[in-house]
Amino acid sequence: MEQEIVSFSPEEQEHYVIFSQILEVVKKMQETLDASDAESRKRVYNMDQLEKCRQKYQEQTRLKMKEPMTSRRGRIFVSSCY
């Protein structure tokens, strides 16, 4: 549509000044929405990665808690909770 307006004679283009201005505003809005959408997708991806890391850390922590604590010489320590 924009190309059509540009192809008109200057006299004809005068009839489409407001339409051209609206078209420019719509383009800028679309650029803003596209950038916002890209940031939103990055955020969702990063949140997913963070959740995976959190789950992996919790799993590793659980496994470490199940292993008996040993000293450097191989002696097992008995830990007690008060």
Residue 72 DSSP one-character state = T
Three-class DSSP category at 71: coil
Read off the pLDDT band of 45 (50, 70, 90): very high
pLDDT one-digit tens code per residue, 14-35: 887 888 899 999 999 999 999 9
- Between residues 80 and 53, the one the model is more confident about: 53
- Between residues 76 and 64, the one the model is more confident about: 64
What pTM, to 2 d.p., does this model score? 0.54
CB 17 within 8 Å of CB 2:
no
Q: Tell me, what's the pLDDT at 7?
A: 80
Q: Tell me, what's the pLDDT at 82?
A: 43
